[in-house]
Structure 1
Amino acid sequence: MTPPVDPALPSLAPIRTTGFAAFRLLGPPAEPSTPKQVSSLATRRAGQAVMAETLRLHDGDPPRSWWRRLVGASPLSADSRPWYQGALGEIAVGRILGRLGPEWTVLHAVPVGAGVSDIDHVLIGPAGVFTLNTKNHAGRDVWVGDRAILVGGHKQHYLPHARHEAARAAKRLSAAVGEPVPVTPVLVLIEPGKLTIRQRPADVRVVTDRELLRWLKRRRPVLAPERIDRIAAAAAVPGTWHNHPAPSEDPVALQDRFAELRAIELSAQRRRGLWGLGLMVGIGAAVVGDGSDLLTALLNVGLS
């Protein structure tokens, strides 16, 4: 951009200097600037933003003592655990979406807006454009009504959030493509315990992880291939979604770090299970005998 001219200053004729004189006056030519590139959103992994937040919070957790490691205490804190569970849910849905055909474009953890918000998954294919919001409530009871969703009896704000995400995506994709792009909001529930559908919401599709793939494949085509390509090309550009897109953390390194944390958590879960089994064996031995083997059984299980 050309800087404004101050009218109080006299105008100066341009200096036309070439050759060695120009080198002495101006110095050597500057190297062409190469701004840091922001990679295509197609390289992002399922759950990438949530994994990053999980690890950030976990890095601030105090290390477990030897006793907590022995008894299988979780390495996750009350702050990092919800993010960890959320990451597992997005990863699970990402695997399911990977089974869609090549006619579909799937983007994960799409940064949107001006802050740190992201959309879990964006799908573009013959059946249209969808934003997917993943909620991991494995084993918990979920009640779905036309205007509300309850998890374990507590009302959640999932429906308005899903609507907001889809409206946001439609606005940004429409601006990037130059034509209206309708977007359907989808709420994906991961392995709910008891699912009660009182009444399905009219404008938000609510499906479980087991229903998702079949539901997508059974929808009738509404987009021609050339329009799919046009929307997908715009969707892969970070600037389509975020006001100030920035390079993200290396997805492979991030995934590896999260896998290490997951291995530690699974090991702790197994150890807790073994201690529980040892306790039951010890109690059984105490009931039928004199209970002298109780401590030995517990120690053998806990140290295995």
Structure 2
Amino acid sequence: MRLRYAGACRTCGTTLEAGVRAVYDASTRTVTCVECPTPEPRPDVVEPVPAAPPAEVDAGRAGGSARREYERRSAAREKRIREAHPRVGGLILALSDEPQSTTAWARGAKGEEMLGRGLDALADRGVRILHDRRIPRTRANIDHIAVGPSGVFVIDAKRYKGRPSLRVEGGILRPRTARLVVGSRDCTSLVQGVHKQVSLVRDALATAGHGSVPVRGVLCFVEADWPLIGGSFQVDGVHVLWPRKAYEHLTVHGALAPSAVDELHRLLAQAFPMA
């Protein structure tokens, strides 16, 4: 209808003069434009663009690179034997064992996978995990990185037989030294390897402005001969323990809020990509 009196559109607020065609609602005594005008954009007003949600961090696959190395070595051995012995290659493979240098990769992968499943189960307790992370510009990798309320943990998983123990030697007349022994095997070199990994993680955090975040090294022996009571210890600042004890360390209350844990988790995922 054509308006007898001036009014304002109840939808867009445009002033409607008397005589203009519009829609009149008798029940509410309001008028509405036949077609509301589209407002002209103001050049001086910049509409905010909604921030895209951060991409989900891929935690990686525990033991992935060790499993691939085992499969590569196993396939190369099979190919070598079948080519050298076309007729009886299958029989040779069936009756012979793979060399220890090959099976060690499968055993290591299994240990990382077992520990990885337990670490993933800590998500509901505020712990974020990264598995099998590549150290840039090298062929080496870090088995697991955990970020929890009390800080960052660099975890090296080992599936060795025997009982881990701390051997302290020296004293008054000669320098005091601490060695990590598993069964009768001196494994102190593993401690130095963890120290190198911890140093790299600290450097990555410091570069991003998080140099004050605690970073701890952990050697976790899966399926080792641990005593029923006690057993965990430290060698040169590196925690030596079993999976369940590791979970206790990771879930200790600390100063990091969940948002800070997520930020550090994302930062370390970028610094150490999947292997």
TM-score (norm 1): 0.58
Q: 1:68 to 1:59 in 2, by over 3 A?
A: closer
Q: In the TM superposition, what whole-angstrom CA distance separates every residue of 1:145-181 from its partner, at most 9, and x where no partner exists?
A: 4621112312111111111111111111221345433
1:173 corresponds to which residue? 205
Q: 1:204 to 1:178 in 2, by over 3 A?
A: closer
Q: In the TM superposition, what whole-angstrom CA distance separates every residue of 1:169-203 from its partner, at most 9, and x where no partner exists?
A: 11112213454333100110111125595963351
- Secondary structure at the counterpart of residue 145 of structure 2: strand
Partner amino acid for 1:201? V
Q: 1:94 to 1:194 in 2, by over 3 A?
A: closer
Deviation at 1:112, TM superposition (A): 0.8
1:91 corresponds to which residue? 113
Tell me, in whole angstroms, the C-alpha distance in 2 between the residues paired with 1:166 and 1:132.
9
Deviation at 1:144, TM superposition (A): 2.5
Equivalent pair of 1:53/1:83 in contact (CA under 8 Å): yes
1:282 corresponds to which residue? none
Q: In the TM superposition, what whole-angstrom CA distance separates every residue of 1:34-65 from its partner, at most 9, and x where no partner exists?
A: xxxxx986242001111121112112113563
Q: How does 1:90-129 map to 2 (within 5 A)?
A: 90-102=112-124, 103-129=126-152
Equivalent pair of 1:58/1:77 in contact (CA under 8 Å): no
Q: How does 1:77-88 map to 2 (within 5 A)?
A: 77-88=99-110
Percentage identity across aligned positions?
23
1:134 corresponds to which residue? 157
Q: How does 1:93-242 map to 2 (within 5 A)?
A: 93-102=115-124, 103-138=126-161, 140-145=162-167, 147-156=178-187, 157-177=189-209, 179-193=211-225, 197=231, 200-201=234-235, 203-217=237-251, 219-237=252-270, 240-241=271-272
In structure 1, runs of 5+ residues without a counterpart are: 1-38, 249-304
Deviation at 1:227, TM superposition (A): 2.0
2:52 corresponds to which residue? none
Deviation at 1:82, TM superposition (A): 0.9
Deviation at 1:211, TM superposition (A): 2.4
Deviation at 1:206, TM superposition (A): 1.1
Equivalent pair of 2:67/2:109 in contact (CA under 8 Å): yes
Structure with higher helix content: 1
Deviation at 1:204, TM superposition (A): 0.9
In structure 2, runs of 5+ residues without a counterpart are: 1-54, 82-88, 169-177
TM-score (norm 2): 0.64
Q: 1:80 to 1:226 in 2, by over 3 A?
A: same
Structure number with the bigger relative contact order (C-alpha 8 A, sep ≥ 6) is 1
- Secondary structure at the counterpart of residue 254 of structure 2: coil
Deviation at 1:127, TM superposition (A): 2.0
Q: 1:44 to 1:194 in 2, by over 3 A?
A: closer
Larger radius of gyration: 2
Q: 1:68 to 1:111 in 2, by over 3 A?
A: closer
Tell me, in whole angstroms, the C-alpha distance in 2 between the residues paired with 1:78 and 1:67.
17
Q: 1:227 to 1:93 in 2, by over 3 A?
A: same
